Amino acid sequence: MSKNLVLMRDVICIYHPEFRASKDLRRYGMKHPDIFNVERLIEESLAAVGPYELVDLEGYDFTDLSDSKTTTINANTRIGTIGSVETKIGALRITAYNPFKESADYFYVSKRDLKHVKSPCYGNNDHKERIVFTYSKKGDAYGMFEDYRVKSFQELATA
């Protein structure tokens, strides 16, 4: 299963207002998830559930100054990476596709905690920052990043 299919199935078709209102759109989205901008639809779904609006400005996506990020856990290394976090000014709402479970996990990193989880990039990207974390199949856990996991998309959107 692909990241886009899982996010379409588990998030967008459930929480996005346009997909919720149209059985045909849900069916089409499930049949052709790769033609959609899934990251944008995740942002719109968060705004539909959460107490903020989508504004998509430099450094943040929502009126509460938080930002949405999506990532995929690498199937070979079990590492998740969230890039370009150096300009973020508020909390991060992270949706992570986990190919080991063929489902998504959700993480909320507050503005206060963001400085503790960011790390520098190297080489040509030494001016950038990222978040790196590792998934363990044993115990279904993300090491120190586990502290930021929330139970559901709805909890992520309303955190």
Domains plus CATH for the chain?
Answer: 3-158 (3.40.1350)
Average pLDDT, the chain: 96
Residue 8 has what pLDDT?
Answer: 98
pLDDT, one tens digit per residue, over 21-79 is: 999 999 999 999 999 999 999 999 999 999 999 999 999 999 999 999 999 999 999 99
For residues 27, 32, 37 and 38, what is the CA-based torsion angle, rounded to 10 degrees? 60
Residue 1 has pLDDT above 90, yes or no: no
User: 124: pLDDT confidence band, cut at 50, 70 and 90?
Assistant: confident
71, with CB counted inside 10 A (0-12, 13-18, 19+), is: buried
**pTM for the whole thing?**
0.95
Q: What residues are paired with 104 via a beta bridge?
A: 97
Structural tokens at position 21: 């209102």
How far is the C-alpha of 103 from the C-alpha of 98, rounded, in Å? 6
Phi-psi sector, 109: left (phi>0), alpha (psi -120 to 50), beta: beta
* Amino acid in position 105: D
Give the whole-angstrom CA distance, residue 141 versus residue 159. 20
Rounded distance, CA 6 to CA 40, Å? 15
What is the pLDDT averaged over residues 90-109?
A: 98
Kind of pairing, strands 67-72 and 92-98?
Answer: parallel
Instruction: Name every residue whose Cβ is closer than 8 Å to that of residue 144 and which is 6 or more positions away in sequence.
Output: 133
Name the residue among 134, 123, 126, 39 with its Cα closest to residue 81. Answer: 134
DSSP 75-139: TTT-EEEE---TT--S-EEEEEEETTTTEEEEEEE-HHHHHHH-EE--GGGTT-EEEEEE-BTTT
